[in-house]
């Protein structure tokens, strides 16, 4: 591969300097981070916008079982222009605006009895991510998005991919089913709301903040439930005439798990993609087996799912909610906003 003119100089980046909490206090904007270079099958992308996720905070705090070194650059949501391609990549990619799917599948032997749930590595977790002037991505993990707004595109990618897999692939959501979405302030929960509405499903959302519930109503939520720390499942059942909901889509975890299970109708589905309040949830096994409930895990999504949602984005049928946009030099403020849990929608960094 020919030498890149872009890998001869350092680049600007938002760096987590060391592990610890609060994460924002360990975040710095630097101008001398090592510039990446594309290998075979990869491309070098000039970042136009990158969005933050809870993943960035988990990486900053440290992940059990994953050895991380610092300083490091996170960021699993990135949009930008292709600067250069590595060997075995079509040069026609150069100059195109692309959107990243950060979930890179790990090749593994086929197994006839295995449920399709491929192991993945994540750009921004296992390797440097998009919170820098430039990032490297496998050519197989990007889509050309033409002249779409890069800030909106960066805010869209990972959360809508995660939400799509949760509701459509895993829970097999059908029009008319009642959907409960917890913790409506974050990007994934709002993507879940948008997808449920697109499918044609009545929605109930929860939050600890009345202001977020009011904003959720403005986005089209049919019913809202204020989470005051108790069991709110009775309120959900009241809304549904005592029946309960068909699907609960959750990323909060431990603090509200039992309420989620109790809010489900007979034959309902609980699907989770995260546990921001902790993983050690107390559950109700009697209700699970007696009501024949399904408990499902869901992580990210593959390129087939990514093409589906990006197509809907480009046709204007799904749109992200953006909380705030920060210039790269103010990267610490972006982390502070996410870590405060006060945001409503995606926190985006513009490069």
Q: Is the peptide bond before 71 cis (omega within 30 degrees of 0)?
A: yes
Q: CA 8, 11, 17, 19 torsion: positive or negative?
A: negative
Q: Kindly give, in sequence order, each residue whose CB lies less than 8 Å from that of residue 170, ignoring residues fewer than 6 positions away.
A: 271, 296, 297, 298
Sort strands 264-272 and 294-297 into parallel, antiparallel or unpaired. parallel
Report the pLDDT value the prediction gives residue 1, as an integer from 0 to 100: 34
- Cα atoms in the 13 Å half-sphere on the side-chain side of 203: 29
**pLDDT by 10s per residue, the chain, length 351:** 334 444 457 899 999 999 999 999 999 999 999 999 999 999 999 999 999 999 999 999 987 778 889 999 999 999 999 999 999 999 999 999 999 999 998 876 666 565 566 678 899 998 999 999 999 999 999 999 999 999 999 999 999 999 999 999 999 999 999 999 999 988 999 999 999 999 999 999 999 999 999 999 999 999 999 999 999 999 999 999 999 999 999 999 999 999 999 999 999 999 999 888 888 899 999 999 999 999 999 998 999 999 999 999 999 999 999 999 999 999 999 999 999 989 999 999 999
Residue 124 — left, alpha, or beta (φ > 0 → left; ψ -120 to 50 → alpha)? left
Q: Which two tokens stand for residue 15?
A: 């760096």
> Which tokens belong to 221?
């939520």
For 5-147+321-350, the fitting CATH number among 1.10.579.10, 3.40.50.150, 3.90.180.10, 3.40.50.11540 is 3.90.180.10
Q: What is the CA radius of gyration of the chain?
A: 20
Please report, for the chain, the start and end positions of each structural domain, with discontinuous segments joined by +: 5-147+321-350, 161-297
Rounded CA-CA distance 77/153 in Å is 9
- Kindly report whether the peptide bond that precedes residue 22 is cis, defined as omega within 30 degrees of 0: yes
Contact 284, 307 (CB under 8 A): no
pLDDT given at position 116: 61
Query: CB of 262 within 8 A of CB of 231?
Result: yes
β partners of residue 205: 181, 224
CATH fold for the domain made of 161-297 = Rossmann fold (3.40.50)
How many whole angstroms separate alpha carbon 78 and alpha carbon 123? Answer: 10
Smallest CA-to-CA distance from 274 within 293, 249, 294, 295 is with: 249
Between strands 11-16 and 346-350, the pairing is unpaired
Are 189 and 54 contacting, i.e. CB atoms less than 8 angstroms apart? no
Rounded distance between C-alpha atoms, residue 348 and residue 194, angstroms:
19
pLDDT in tens, 210-269: 999 999 999 999 999 999 999 999 999 999 999 999 999 999 999 999 999 999 999 999
């Amino acid at each position: 591969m020919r030498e890149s003119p872009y890998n001869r100089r350092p680049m600007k980046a938002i760096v987590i300097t060391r592990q610890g909490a609060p994460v924002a206090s360990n975040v710095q904007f630097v101008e001398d981070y090592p510039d990446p270079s594309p290998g075979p099958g990869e491309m070098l992308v000039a970042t136009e916008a990158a969005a933050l996720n809870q993943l960035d905070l988990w990486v900053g705090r440290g992940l059990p079982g994953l050895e991380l070194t610092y300083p490091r650059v996170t960021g699993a949501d990135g949009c930008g222009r292709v600067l250069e391609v590595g060997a075995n990549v079509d040069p026609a990619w150069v100059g195109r605006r692309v959107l990243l799917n950060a979930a890179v599948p790990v090749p593994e032997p086929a197994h006839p009895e295995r449920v399709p749930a491929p192991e993945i590595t994540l750009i921004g977790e296992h390797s440097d991510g998009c919170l820098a002037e430039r990032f490297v991505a496998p050519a197989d993990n990007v889509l050309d998005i033409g002249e779409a707004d890069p800030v909106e595109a960066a805010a869209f990618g990972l959360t809508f991919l995660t939400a799509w897999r949760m509701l459509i692939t895993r829970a097999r959501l059908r029009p008319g089913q009642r959907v409960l979405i917890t913790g409506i302030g974050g990007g994934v929960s709002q993507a879940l709301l948008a997808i449920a509405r697109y499918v044609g499903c009545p929605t109930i959302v929860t939050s600890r903040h009345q202001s977020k519930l009011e904003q959720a109503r403005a986005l089209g939520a049919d019913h809202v439930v204020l989470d005051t720390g108790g069991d709110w499942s009775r309120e959900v059942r009241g809304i549904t005439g005592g029946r309960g909901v068909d699907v609960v889509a959750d990323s909060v975890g431990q603090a509200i798990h039992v309420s989620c299970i109790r809010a489900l109708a007979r034959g309902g589905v609980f699907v989770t993609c995260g546990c921001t309040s902790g993983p050690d949830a107390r559950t109700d096994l009697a209700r699970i087996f007696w009501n024949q409930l399904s408990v499902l895990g869901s992580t990210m999504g593959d390129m087939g799912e990514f093409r589906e949602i990006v197509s809907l984005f480009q046709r204007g049928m799904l749109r992200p909610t953006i909380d705030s946009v920060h210039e790269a030099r103010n990267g610490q403020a972006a982390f502070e906003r996410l870590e405060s849990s006060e945001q409503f929608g995606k926190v985006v960094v513009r490069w």
